[in-house]
Structure 1
Amino acid sequence: MKPSSIAERAKPFRLVKYFTFTSLIVIFIGTIILSLLNTHWVRSMQYQKSEDYALLLIENLNHQVFLQFILPVGLKYGKIELRNQEQFERMDSVVRSTLHSFKVEMVNIYSKNDIIAYSFSPELVGMENLGGTFYKNALDGQSSSKLVQNGGFWEIFLGIPKEIKIITFAPLRAEKPLSPISGPVLGVVEIRQDLSRDYRKIFKFQVVVIGTISVVMGILLLTLIYVVKRGEGIIEKRAFERIRLKDQLAQAKHLSSLGEMVAGVSHEIRNPLGIISSSAELLKKKMAPQDNLNAIADIVVTEARRLNNIITDFLNYARPKKPNRRACRVDEVISKNIHFLEHQIKENGYVIRTFVDDEIPVIMADGDMLYQAFLNLFINGMQAMPRGGAIDVTIEAGDGFLWVYIEDEGEGVSVPVMEKIWDPFFTTKEKGTGLGLGIVRNIIEGHDGMIRIDNRSEKGARVSVKFPLSQEAK
């Protein structure tokens, strides 16, 4: 299976995935921007509301000061002098009673000479030239406000300065009774309101909004990642399945052609090969035991048998036999293999240790074919340890499968060999057809099983074989 083929098949889905992720990021950024704009709009509304609130207070204060202070004091004293303690206290009483329970931090009343004539803060009374441009605008009859912020750069940038105040300047006018027209400007009223608490509430609301958006987007992102991974898994699985089926179909066609060819060729070879073998055995019987030609006859018979075994391997690989399934215990098959190899095991210093679960299910399988497959695996394991060593066999059931692990203590399988290990006719042995593992895989897959070979972390190789328990004998 070529990864490039799978990548090409999955390419459209990846485009959808990238488009979806990009869209989610754009939506998140857009939502944050909208939240910031909404916060700015709320602050602007708060500023406008505070300014309108201040103007209403000044209008009411103007009315009360004119009625309760300017007129009575003017009639009583003939002129207004706030330096007079009695007049100042009367003015203070009027202002504080008018603004009582309203959110006003500071009130300053300027004369037409830019001198503070009255203030909530007595130390400011008498100070000059503190009004600035806003004072001059108010003196010309135009009300205006300014926002004053105190704090660090990031505090002001985030909208949570230590102090934020709105200062409103408006003219103090004489009133004409029963007339909508205001009289001349008598002075300027300055009202300061502390908006720090309101702006902190707006900031907290903004944090809640952004936090909620982040949580929702995070949930959407996790859901999307989950869906994408599931989708990728399904697509990759289907791509592997299609490629596997395609490879199996190609292999089946190849094996079918190869099987027909091998069957014809083997028939033509086996007939003369049988004649050669039987003729050599007949000649050997007619020769005297001490005749030197006996050795030649033995060589002919041995090589004829080896050639016959090679032809048998070709036939077994090219035309796999269909399993004759019956109730079979895999642990008993393994025991037969070990018993058959007992002489070779003792002679060459091998040890085969078995680890079998207490309850191994009986499966429907061809015992003779499994015997042949495991025998090849044991022989390969021993050939990987020419100086002897241990082979561990583990048999266990779980997750709907019967597992058989065969582990040796050899040198393991090199990367170049691992890439070609299942290729037919590939072998690292001096004498071998390179069909042994191919025959083993055909047998295992013929039982709907699977086989794989990996290198162990310590040393040696591990062969993993699994059979589905759907074939379990009832």
Structure 2
Amino acid sequence: MSFKPMEEKTKPFRLVKYFTFASLIVIFIGTIVLSFLNIHWARTLQFKKSQDYALLLIENLNHQVYTQFQIPVYYIFGKIQLRNRRQFELMDKIVRNTLHSFKIDTVNLYDVNDNIISYSFEPSLVGQRDLGGEGYRNAVLGQSTSRLVQKGNFWETLLGRPHEIKVITFAPLREAKPLTRISGKVLGVIEVVQDLSEDYKTIFRFQIRVIITCTLVMSLLLVILIFVVKKGEAIIEQRNRERMRLREQLNRAERLSSLGEMVAGISHEIRNPLGIIKSSAELLKKKMEKIPASGAIPDIIVEESDRLNNIITDFLDYAKPRAPHLKLCHMDEVLEKNITFLTPQIEAQGYIVKKQYDRLPVIAADPDMMYQVFLNLMINAMQSMPGGGEIQIIGTSDRKNLTLIFKDKGEGVPAEVMEKIWDPFFTTKETGTGLGLGIVRNIIEAHGGTIRIENRPIYGAQVVIGLPIKAENI
């Protein structure tokens, strides 16, 4: 049997399946990329927010330093010298009070001329020279700048979670008047350092949650998709098999229809002269009874005529099977009738029939046709064991079906024979028409049942018949 039609039918579905899986993977990758872009945007926004935050703090601190430190110090001391303890303490008090409750890690004040740290939250930095770098030089020119500093190993930085992240902002310290915009000359440089490690850790945790959520959602969609695809494949495969089975039955029916018409016509034409030959032989036999040793030829003619008549009957039964005359009956009674008929042959040739059934349920069937089925199967089982052997007949039932199994202990059915076993006129016997199993299958299918032949696991073959338990059309 060729499965090419099935493959052709399922190919479009496979393309849809592959396209769906590919789309799901692309969507997942796109979602991950978008999550990373979203996290990058969040970090950029956080940096911009921190930069603006620092500039506002610096502007406020600039007002406080100019009005509360520079003017009073010039008035009291005449000049600004943060090396003076009182001036340094005043500056420290003003800066800390101004930045109190704000998230600031460090504040440094640089001299405008010598790039020296005049004031710092870290006393060890006071007096250090040339630590401002490019940010200090830009601030001296009146430009505010910010930069992001990350500390961590390669993988921490790559994954976006360095153990320390700071934003360093440099801005000029100008002359200013209260309630006016700062626009005077540059008097010094302010450096503000903000620690964003916790903020970035929060963003990183959010990123992990987004990725985990996307993975879970895509995994769920993948499981659902796999289930739907497998269900769809099973349905399509079942429909294709059913379609192929119906196509095979239709082709067989078309072949047998033309063959049946031919066989029926030939059989009718042969049966009439065959009947004349038989009756003439019987009449000839009667007339030659008084002649010694002359009855053999008429007996042969009568015997061969009966055999030809049986062959023609098989042709007609296969070509034009009659409809079963259903009535309620017990299959165990039909089986017992078959066994009784075959008992002389069973005992003479050394066969053993093992019955594994009790009272079988009543079903709607034609007992004569079922008798023909069982007789054919039991004779086949006996012929598969020429030297005698065991034949098992098993009967089981449930609410819907009656199952009958005929087992023998012969050599089994070869693979090449199994492929052709239902073909009409195919036989491995020296005599016979090869229509017996075909007639059996026609009868079983006419009863709405099923039949299959298979080899047993160890040796021999078995025939499994399924018949519906129903009482329709009685």
Superposition TM-score tier, normalisation by shorter sequence:
0.7 to 0.9
Equivalence for 2:133: 132
CA–CA separation in structure 2 for the residues paired with 1:218 and 1:332: 60
Equivalence for 1:448: 448
Could you state the TM-score of these two structures normalised by the residue count of structure 2? Answer: 0.85
SS of 2:181's partner is: coil
Identity of matched residues, %: 61
Q: What residue identity is the alignment partner of 1:102? A: F
Greater displacement, 47-56 / 87-96:
87-96
Equivalence for 2:157: 156
Greater displacement, 307-316 / 237-246:
237-246
Deviation at 1:265, TM superposition (A): 1.5
CA–CA separation in structure 1 for the residues paired with 2:394 and 2:252: 32
Contact 1:406 1:464 in 2 (8 A): yes
Note the residue ranges of structure 2 that are not aligned, 5 or more in a row: none
CA–CA separation in structure 2 for the residues paired with 1:377 and 1:315: 20
Deviation at 1:320, TM superposition (A): 1.4
RMSD (Å), alpha carbons: 3.4
Q: Deviations over 1:130-189 (max 9, x none)?
A: 322223222322222222223343432332233332222222333234542422323332
Equivalence for 2:36: 36
Greater displacement, 53-62 / 81-90:
81-90
Greater displacement, 399-408 / 153-162:
399-408
Contact 1:255 1:319 in 2 (8 A): no
Distance 1:39 1:178, change over 3 A: closer
CA–CA separation in structure 2 for the residues paired with 1:224 and 1:255: 46
Deviation at 1:283, TM superposition (A): 6.2
Equivalence for 1:169: 170
Distance 1:175 1:10, change over 3 A: same
Deviation at 1:437, TM superposition (A): 1.9
Deviation at 1:45, TM superposition (A): 1.4
CA–CA separation in structure 2 for the residues paired with 1:381 and 1:86: 122
Deviation at 1:79, TM superposition (A): 3.5
Contact 2:172 2:186 in 1 (8 A): yes
CA–CA separation in structure 1 for the residues paired with 2:245 and 2:96: 91
CA–CA separation in structure 1 for the residues paired with 2:85 and 2:386: 119
Deviation at 1:433, TM superposition (A): 2.3
CA–CA separation in structure 2 for the residues paired with 1:399 and 1:142: 94
CA–CA separation in structure 1 for the residues paired with 2:130 and 2:315: 112
Equivalence for 1:334: 335
Distance 1:453 1:181, change over 3 A: same
Contact 2:449 2:468 in 1 (8 A): yes
SS of 2:147's partner is: strand
Contact 2:453 2:461 in 1 (8 A): yes
CA–CA separation in structure 2 for the residues paired with 1:316 and 1:32: 72
Distance 1:139 1:9, change over 3 A: same
Distance 1:260 1:169, change over 3 A: same
CA–CA separation in structure 2 for the residues paired with 1:218 and 1:240: 32
Equivalence for 1:3: 3
CA–CA separation in structure 2 for the residues paired with 1:231 and 1:190: 67
SS of 1:148's partner is: strand
CA–CA separation in structure 1 for the residues paired with 2:358 and 2:55: 90
SS of 1:50's partner is: helix
Deviation at 1:449, TM superposition (A): 1.6
Deviation at 1:332, TM superposition (A): 3.5
Q: What residue identity is the alignment partner of 2:100? A: H
Contact 2:399 2:469 in 1 (8 A): no
**2:61 aligned with 1:65, yes or no?**
no
CA–CA separation in structure 2 for the residues paired with 1:131 and 1:290: 145
**2:246 aligned with 1:252, yes or no?**
no
Greater displacement, 316-325 / 215-224:
215-224
Contact 1:108 1:120 in 2 (8 A): yes
**2:192 aligned with 1:191, yes or no?**
yes
Deviation at 1:46, TM superposition (A): 1.6
Q: What residue identity is the alignment partner of 2:41? A: W
Deviation at 1:207, TM superposition (A): 3.2
Contact 2:63 2:177 in 1 (8 A): no
SS of 1:420's partner is: coil
Q: What residue identity is the alignment partner of 1:197? A: E
CA–CA separation in structure 2 for the residues paired with 1:399 and 1:196: 73
CA–CA separation in structure 2 for the residues paired with 1:273 and 1:422: 29
Deviation at 1:356, TM superposition (A): 4.1
SS of 2:80's partner is: coil
Distance 1:78 1:420, change over 3 A: farther
SS of 1:453's partner is: strand
SS of 2:419's partner is: helix
Map 1:329-408 → 2, pairs under 5 A: 329-356=330-357, 361-398=361-398, 400-408=400-408
Distance 1:460 1:196, change over 3 A: farther
Contact 1:453 1:462 in 2 (8 A): yes
Distance 1:344 1:14, change over 3 A: same
Distance 1:254 1:152, change over 3 A: same
Q: How many residues align?
A: 472
Deviation at 1:446, TM superposition (A): 0.9
